[in-house]
Chains A and B, each alone.
Chain A
Amino acid sequence: MLEVTCNDRLGKKVRVKCNPDDTIGDLKKLIAAQTGTRWEKIVLKKWYTVFKDHIKLQDCILSI
């Protein structure tokens, strides 16, 4: 289980718990459940690199 903090730089900051083998899509759904936006509308980025929905968290975790 790991905990991810997501910040939209506009005042919304949420912490979600997820597994390392979850995909980014699953993470977006968890975030959507907490923030109230639709999960298809969420775009997760690292600087300007956009994370795609099918990547597993454990594969991109080293770069975060």
Chain B
Amino acid sequence: MANRTVKDAKSVRGTNPQYLIEKIIRSRIYDCKYWKEECFALSAELLVDKAMELRFLGGVYGGNIKPTPFLCLVLKMLQIQPEKDIIVEFIKNEEFKYVRALGATYMRLVGTSLDCYKYLEPLFNDSRKLRRQNRQGQFELIHMDEFIDELLREERLCDIILPRIQKRHVLEENNELEPKISALEDDLDEGIESSGDEEEVVKPAEVTANVETHWPRGREDKVRRPSPSRRRSTSRERNRDRERRRSRDRERNRPDRDKKTRRSRSRERRHRSKDQDRGRDQDRTREQDRARDQDRAREQDRMRDQERTR
């Protein structure tokens, strides 16, 4: 039973779908107790029951490379190849977060780039906590949106090498995807307006601290967390911000603003209204600036969380 079940299984990325998991880890999974006991003759329906019993994520752990049940179920799904609607059901269900995580992982492994972005990005709004077992066997806390973010960005997750998907901007260029709309966009725009100066000052330090500058991080879509730029502005000079905001509004409403060159183009680019052309570059710089602020707060929070769970 340790080989492909369906004869007509579609080959994923050009190979046997089970080969997406490395040979050594695959052998360890075939040998483990969970696989032999629980994952024997599983069908799609029974798989749902097993998935509902999941209590944590993880790859392998321990000195003798024991696989977690999560990993065993991922391999089982690769083996039985459920239909795409079943996977979408897994992802869409609200009640069981580990079922969602399992569906998301499977979709990332076998889905096309478009599918991945389409189905996984709504999950950025989910901010529930997940348990993850690390390599040493310790449990760590991670949030669902962090997990999805890692799925979309990282190379390996849970000891599975994630297949390459196209970058988001490539799909946007081909008009197959809409530019990313963050759920926190309105909040962040307000925050950026009133604390533009603080951002300029902070940016040089941030650039050296943060290597990642690409796409908006999953964390910033969590509605419960106020944007750090907003937090910062309340403690700084208000008068200066108010004057600047007034002048900025005046500038924004000027009819010929696009033709004139202005002193601080980067800042103006950020505050352009949404009716103007949503060029990719504008979004990207806006999101880069946003990402830098968010990254710092996120790192601090994550350190705090880790300290707390440890």
B168 contacts the other chain (Cβ, under 8 Å)?
no
Q: A51–B63 Cα gap in the complex (Å)?
A: 7
Are A43 and B63 touching (Cβ within 8 A)? yes
Residues of chain B lying within 8 A (CB to CB) of residue A43: 63-65
A64 contacts the other chain (Cβ, under 8 Å)?
no
Interface residue total, chain A, C-beta cutoff 8 A: 6
Interface residues of B in 132-148 (CB under 8 A from A): 135-136
Are B63 and A52 touching (Cβ within 8 A)? yes
Are B135 and A40 touching (Cβ within 8 A)? yes
Are B64 and A50 touching (Cβ within 8 A)? yes
Central interface residue in A40, A43, A50, by most chain B CB within 10 Å? A40
A53 contacts the other chain (Cβ, under 8 Å)?
yes
Q: A11–B65 Cα gap in the complex (Å)?
A: 22
Smallest CB separation, A24 vs chain B (Å): 10
Closest-by-CB residue of B relative to A51 is: B63
Interface residues of A in 3-36 (CB under 8 A from B): none
Interface residues on B, range: under 10
Interface string of A40-64 (1 = CB under 8 A from B): 1001000000111100000000000
Residues of chain A lying within 8 A (CB to CB) of residue B65: 43
Residues of chain B lying within 8 A (CB to CB) of residue A51: 63
Closest-by-CB residue of B relative to A25 is: B136
Central interface residue in B63, B64, B65, B136, by most chain A CB within 10 Å? B63
Closest-by-CB residue of B relative to A38 is: B156
Smallest CB separation, B255 vs chain A (Å): 58
Smallest CB separation, A55 vs chain B (Å): 11
Q: A50–B64 Cα gap in the complex (Å)?
A: 7
Q: A47–B1 Cα gap in the complex (Å)?
A: 32
Are B136 and A53 touching (Cβ within 8 A)? yes
Q: A53–B136 Cα gap in the complex (Å)?
A: 8
Smallest CB separation, A46 vs chain B (Å): 12
Smallest CB separation, A48 vs chain B (Å): 9
Q: A40–B158 Cα gap in the complex (Å)?
A: 12
Q: A50–B136 Cα gap in the complex (Å)?
A: 13
Closest-by-CB residue of A relative to B137 is: A52
Smallest CB separation, B161 vs chain A (Å): 11
Interface residues of B in 46-103 (CB under 8 A from A): 63-65
Instruction: Spell out A's residues near B (CB within 8 Å).
Output: 40, 43, 50-53
Shortest beta-carbon contacts, A-B, top 10: A50-B63, A40-B135, A50-B64, A52-B63, A43-B63, A53-B136, A43-B65, A51-B63, A43-B64, A52-B136
- Pick 10 A–B contacts, CB within 8 A, sort by A: A40-B135, A43-B63, A43-B64, A43-B65, A50-B63, A50-B64, A51-B63, A52-B63, A52-B136, A53-B136
